[in-house]
Amino acid sequence: MTVATRRTQDQRSAETRRLLLSATVKMLMEVGYANTSTAGIAKRAGVSRGAQTHHYPSKMALIVAATEEMFGNFASRLEVLAADLNNGDLDYDKFFEAVWEEVLHGDWFYSSLEIIVAARGDTELREQLSPLIIDLHQRFERIWTETFVALNPDVITSKVALNLALNVFRGMAVQAVLRRDEAYFREMLMALKTMLASHVQPAKSAQ
């Protein structure tokens, strides 16, 4: 239009796709799946609807691609936190607080919740997302088992403790939609840390 910044086709494509996926995640996060239309995404991304359908012919293709990227981003973020715990930049308490912060205020949790709930009523979407979630979960388990060791593996393994913690976070985040009460969630998080502490400890401190 104004200055013709010359780019290769690949560069143009990649940029457009990036804008679309980012806009998709942000819209899911901010207004929910029900209020996320393909036209809205295109507008938010600053891309024409034609460009959008060119790269992602259906809404599902767009959602699935956005989910893939979002899961990847979150796992990476978690890897960083785990590394921080391992090398001493974070202690046990701060680690969980950072994860909770990430869940509550990061891009990922609520957009994934929207997608999961949408998938409940859409067989095809569910089938497309299922492998992505399983992948993500395996990445979680790998990160976690490299970071925490169980005190009594016969009673509660490290893996189960991870899943318990994850599910508490999930549940809390859902509850937070209709109940904004920071003190309540702080108390809950403290209780979770206390209960977990008697079953797992950071691998680093076990050396």
Partner DNA sequence: ACTTACAAACAGACTGATTGGTTTTTTTGA
Partner DNA sequence: TCAAAAAAACCAATCAGTCTGTTTGTAAGT
Length of the chain in terms of residues written: 207
Which one of 60, 65, 98, 117 is in contact with a second copy (CB under 8 A)? 117
Give the E-state strand segments of 12-98 in sequence order: none
Which one of 23, 113, 150, 200 is in contact with a second copy (CB under 8 A)? 113
Binders of a second copy: how many residues, by CB under 8 A? 49
- 3-state class of 57 per DSSP? coil
Tell me whether residue 178 is exposed, middle or buried, using C-beta atoms within 10 angstroms of its C-beta: 0 to 12, 13 to 18, 19 or more: exposed
Q: Does 127 bind DNA (CB under 7 A)?
A: no
Q: Does 18 bind a second copy (CB under 8 A)?
A: no
Give the E-state strand segments of the chain in sequence order: 148-150, 200-202
Question: In angstroms, rounded to a whole number, what is the distance separating the alpha carbons of residues 55 and 201?
Answer: 46
Residue 159, both tokens: 């893996």
Q: Does 123 bind DNA (CB under 7 A)?
A: no
Nearer to a second copy, 51 or 169 (CB): 169
Q: Does 18 bind DNA (CB under 7 A)?
A: no
Which one of 48, 171, 205, 206 is in contact with a second copy (CB under 8 A)? 171
Question: Which residues, numbered 127-166, are part of the site for a second copy (CB under 8 A)?
Answer: 129-130, 133-134, 137, 155-156, 160-161, 163-164, 166
The string over 118-143, giving b where at least 16 C-beta atoms fall within 10 Å of a residue's C-beta and e elsewhere, is: bbeeeeebeebbeebbeebeebbeeb
- Dihedral pair phi/psi, residue 164, rounded to 5°: -60, -45
Please give the residue ranges that form the binding site for DNA (CB under 7 A): 1, 4, 6-10, 12-13, 15-16, 35-40, 47-51, 53-55, 57-60
Binding site for a second copy (CB under 8 A): 30-35, 110, 113-114, 116-122, 126, 129-130, 133-134, 137, 155-156, 160-161, 163-164, 166-172, 174-175, 177-179, 184, 187-188, 191-192, 194-195, 198-199
